[in-house]
Structure 1
């Protein structure tokens, strides 16, 4: 007996000896079968170091070389691929996540079938049914569900939700998971290939290609197959589109034909094709392999080509699944070219379907813009929702609103060229291509939109140039222009001013407000920042009939200390009273007095504050004259009384005498001019009293100075006579500030002095 490990990875053990056979075992010790049987004992067995060849030597002297291989057993359904590994194991691969699961059967795996979450494995004497979680498309945990104790040989094994289907030449048998046969069908010729199409649980459908060129559709609960189409030669491959309206058939000559099941016509024919697959997402998209090249086509357009190794077995979205040996690779293909083909043809729905399979963000945006231009707002919304572009979604809402109000046409209507140009310009704005947007707005003859665009961009100079240019063009054509109106220009300047104010460029804002004629805003800015020059410019620019703005200018100029300019503003509008108020507030008395000469009705208004100002500046005499000029006799008297009283309280008796003298004159004048006898008597009485007080205070001032000062200005006899006069004049009256002690003391002193002098004179005369 001899043993040898064979296989690509030495995974099989070949044992030979006296039984004249080469028996094959797995590495776990499971007997797989025998490779060959000789006529004598096999004494030696060696494998080729590189090829799958085995050399044996027998007892009868025979030396023979044999080649062995392990046939591929696999099954494919959408994104799951199951294949046999080392004959006794099954590996399930998820083609999206690249996860793999291994099932150890410890028996020879003859056939594999996979469908949705079901997996059927045919062993030597039974069929095992596995399933995974139905609600998780990525679940790879398979658990055994049923064991069907059936032993049969077949060319094709299929599994459904509740059945097992196997094909034996012309006969197709359907059994349930309990091993009971439910249906069988006998065809006219051998079934060459079978595709599972899905369907309701328990009533799935199959597509069958036969050796005589017929293609049938078979429902599991129907006894009669349905003929779909027929070709002239043997069918080697079939695939049904996702909408079940087209079928791809490859014959034994490797010719691909695509048949329409609705019109029964041939839509496409290609030679030298090895395999094909319809896209599971887009019904019209087909891929096929030819001479190691992958082709992705529609009925009328070749979308994509690229070299590959192997044959295509599935096409889901932008993923193509290619089988090479027993390994399936997923290849991502770019279908932007197909999207642009449909885009140029105006078939936006097909273009959107292509984009869904995977294109760049730039391609998505071009599709969205094209949809907007054609008012396919549903497609446009789907595109920009995918991109997460909320600005475009807002614009789509605006278009829908305009569509509801009839300002733009729906997609099934014929849009005018102007509407398309406007939407194109708006799209350019959203993309930031403002130069192109301006050109398109001009092309659509909507120059006002260009002006609005530049205004929103705060490019006011360009907006103004556009307005001037447009007005010139319109005038040359029609002789008149409403667009470049004074109102429109002012509106533009006002927006410029508001923007300048928002950006803290207040002086520019003030200038723009002046040009726009918004004098109120300009005055506010100038006053806020203390710009006297701007206020002066405004006061000269504003029409003299605009009393409101001139009044504002005057008030703010006055607050800023420019009273002369403020008065000029009031002079322009002829408001003498306000002009005088400003001049009086600024103590501009020369201008005020000059102005009041021509407007005598304001004499009292000017001379009263003038008199008060004079009094505050110690010009009491001028103040009294001003009071008198103002015609305020009582005010003059009261003012002089206050002055006299203040002088007395400050011991300025000379000033008090003078004030009382002036007061007596004023009382005399009032009495002289009064027609009322009572008033006349009253003022005459006050005249006498004031005259007396004037005399008394005048004399008392000398006595007071003599008593307080260290020197005398008069001879003693003068003071003696003053004291005599004062005592005689006062009598029993008491005046504020006057003390009778001083004159009495002087009188007694000088009385004694005069006696002594007289005695000396008498003595001198006697002695003589």
Structure 2
């Protein structure tokens, strides 16, 4: 802590033979004050407003014209520097440490914080510094308070001072509110609340008490429409301390349905979700949809479907059945609502394909109006059958595709589908015939006569020319 440099002397002290100690203005000669029972006097070399005088076995410390602080002392005071006083007792020179708390408090009482700070710098206790810092802060003497808290290394209050200075500079922060913030920081909650109320800012008192979970005290500062806000804060607190049931009830009491639903879902309380869903009116669609989605996530599809049905959302109900693989329920519902065929039959077809039920999958794709997906399934099936030398299966798949193309040509009256019908029908015939030749070459026995096999081969030679190169090449290799 920096010390003040000695100043040019402006005062003069005189002690006469009658024991009067008189203090004069050195420049004007004006008598400033006087004391009795003095035999010696000394100004503080670091602070001229402080002096010490002795007499009648006492030592007195005095600042300005305040009452002197007296203590026992044998001898004569001959010097005063900072908090050290030098006394001559006979032939001995004694040095004593003086308590300077009294003059500091005298300045504080008069709200002379600059002078109090100068005395504190001469030497006071930690507790005295704290009193000076807090007293200056409460009087909004921010400069002196900041210096005192720097000495104390109290960074919390230094941050508070910085915040208050910024608010004060804005000009719209009343003095009572600033002092209320200081009291709140010090734990003087009742005093702070009264100041907030005096400034017409009861909401700050409400916020202060609710932040501290002192809800009964906060009740006193509720406005006419603030009760819901207090309950909401109580609910937030209850949720933070894992009192989920109480929190949900409080949220519901103030209409915070979203928060209550979130708690029920987080805790897996299916019964509460179902009950709440049944209590809500259809007009509260967002909340009902949220409940339904949470029930769906919690694997209670039937309860979720009940809510979707109340909302008239058939597509959502179908989606629930599809995700649960409850195909019978899905088919029953979609039977009277064919516009939703794709919602059911596309995933059904995919499920069939994953289960190696490709023929059923192809039919389901057609039922869903996804002809391209259906044909892709059969193209893959046919390729697999040919690669594995299952030519009779390949023939069957081509025949099924030919029937599908025929149906499409009738529905859409397009030449393209009719052409595809003819091609696939012819390929079905070729692979059916070729299967007999392949079996004859690979298996030791056959039920066909040689003439029949020869005529089948002739048929294949004619039909595969530039029609199915893969079959043609295979057949050529067998013939040669």
Q: TM-score, normalised by structure 1?
A: 0.47
Alignment partners' CA distance in 2, 1:663 and 1:612: 18
2:348 to 604, 610, 623: 610
Whether 2:288 is the aligned partner of 1:533: answer no
How has the CA–CA distance of structure 1 residues 402 and 589 changed in structure 2, closer, same or farther, with 3 Å as cutoff? same
Alignment partners' CA distance in 2, 1:374 and 1:647: 95
Alignment partners' CA distance in 2, 1:259 and 1:644: 122
How has the CA–CA distance of structure 1 residues 685 and 387 changed in structure 2, closer, same or farther, with 3 Å as cutoff? closer
Whether 2:330 is the aligned partner of 1:600: answer no
Aligned position for 2:123: 358
Alignment partners' CA distance in 2, 1:631 and 1:688: 25
Alignment partners' CA distance in 2, 1:677 and 1:398: 83
Instruction: Show CA shifts across 1:218-259 (max 9, x none).
Output: xxxxxxxxxxxxxxxxxxxxxxxx422x533221xx421425
> Pairwise mapping of residues 749-768 of structure 1 onto structure 2 (< 5 A)?
none
Deviation at 1:728, TM superposition (A): 3.0
Whether 2:84 is the aligned partner of 1:329: answer no
1:268 to 20, 23, 34: 34
Instruction: Show CA shifts across 1:613-658 (max 9, x none).
Output: 3233233442343244234567656655654554454344554555
Contact map agreement 2:206 2:221 (CA 8 A) in 1? no
Alignment partners' CA distance in 1, 2:110 and 2:371: 104
How has the CA–CA distance of structure 1 residues 681 and 265 changed in structure 2, closer, same or farther, with 3 Å as cutoff? closer
How has the CA–CA distance of structure 1 residues 466 and 572 changed in structure 2, closer, same or farther, with 3 Å as cutoff? farther
Structure holding more helix per residue: 2
Aligned position for 1:243: 10
Whether 2:460 is the aligned partner of 1:733: answer yes
Figure out how many residues of one structure are paired with residues of the other and give that number: 453
How has the CA–CA distance of structure 1 residues 395 and 680 changed in structure 2, closer, same or farther, with 3 Å as cutoff? closer
Deviation at 1:549, TM superposition (A): 8.6
Whether 2:327 is the aligned partner of 1:589: answer yes
Alignment partners' CA distance in 2, 1:296 and 1:358: 14
Whether 2:22 is the aligned partner of 1:258: answer yes
Deviation at 1:367, TM superposition (A): 1.9
Instruction: Show CA shifts across 1:718-759 (max 9, x none).
Output: x255x5444334424147499889x99xxxxxxxxxxxxxxx
Gaps of at least 5 residues in structure 2 are: 465-470
Give the match's secondary structure for 2:56: coil
Aligned position for 1:292: 57
Whether 2:367 is the aligned partner of 1:629: answer yes
> Pairwise mapping of residues 450-469 of structure 1 onto structure 2 (< 5 A)?
450-453=205-208, 459=212, 461-462=213-214, 464-469=215-220
Contact map agreement 1:470 1:484 (CA 8 A) in 2? no
1:443 to 191, 194, 205: 194
Instruction: Show CA shifts across 1:247-286 (max 9, x none).
Output: 33221xx421425456856833524x43233334444544
Contact map agreement 2:391 2:431 (CA 8 A) in 1? no
Instruction: Show CA shifts across 1:166-195 (max 9, x none).
Output: xxxxxxxxxxxxxxxxxxxxxxxxxxxxxx
Q: TM-score, normalised by structure 2?
A: 0.70
Give the match's secondary structure for 2:140: coil
Query: Which of structures 1 and 2 has the bigger CA Rg?
Result: 1
How has the CA–CA distance of structure 1 residues 687 and 571 changed in structure 2, closer, same or farther, with 3 Å as cutoff? same
Alignment partners' CA distance in 2, 1:599 and 1:430: 67
Comparing both chains, which one has the higher relative contact order based on Cα–Cα distances under 8 Å and sequence gaps of 6 or more? Answer: 2
Contact map agreement 2:231 2:250 (CA 8 A) in 1? no
Contact map agreement 1:312 1:321 (CA 8 A) in 2? yes
> Pairwise mapping of residues 181-220 of structure 1 onto structure 2 (< 5 A)?
none
Aligned position for 2:468: none
Q: Greater CA deviation, 357-366 or 276-285?
A: 276-285
Alignment partners' CA distance in 2, 1:290 and 1:566: 97
Give the match's secondary structure for 1:309: coil
Aligned position for 2:137: 372
Alignment partners' CA distance in 2, 1:403 and 1:618: 77
Structure holding more strand per residue: 1
Give the match's secondary structure for 1:315: strand
Aligned position for 1:619: 357
1:383 to 148, 166, 190: 148
Deviation at 1:468, TM superposition (A): 3.8
Contact map agreement 1:653 1:698 (CA 8 A) in 2? yes
Alignment partners' CA distance in 2, 1:720 and 1:378: 116
Deviation at 1:569, TM superposition (A): 8.1
RMSD after superposition = 5.3
Deviation at 1:360, TM superposition (A): 0.8
Q: Greater CA deviation, 536-545 or 664-673?
A: 536-545
Contact map agreement 2:129 2:148 (CA 8 A) in 1? yes
Deviation at 1:363, TM superposition (A): 1.1
Contact map agreement 2:205 2:221 (CA 8 A) in 1? no
Instruction: Show CA shifts across 1:397-427 (max 9, x none).
Output: 4444444444568xxxxx7xx46xx52x544
Alignment partners' CA distance in 1, 2:49 and 2:373: 110
How has the CA–CA distance of structure 1 residues 313 and 670 changed in structure 2, closer, same or farther, with 3 Å as cutoff? closer
How has the CA–CA distance of structure 1 residues 672 and 724 changed in structure 2, closer, same or farther, with 3 Å as cutoff? farther
Instruction: Show CA shifts across 1:44-81 (max 9, x none).
Output: xxxxxxxxxxxxxxxxxxxxxxxxxxxxxxxxxxxxxx
Contact map agreement 1:649 1:737 (CA 8 A) in 2? no
Alignment partners' CA distance in 2, 1:300 and 1:293: 19
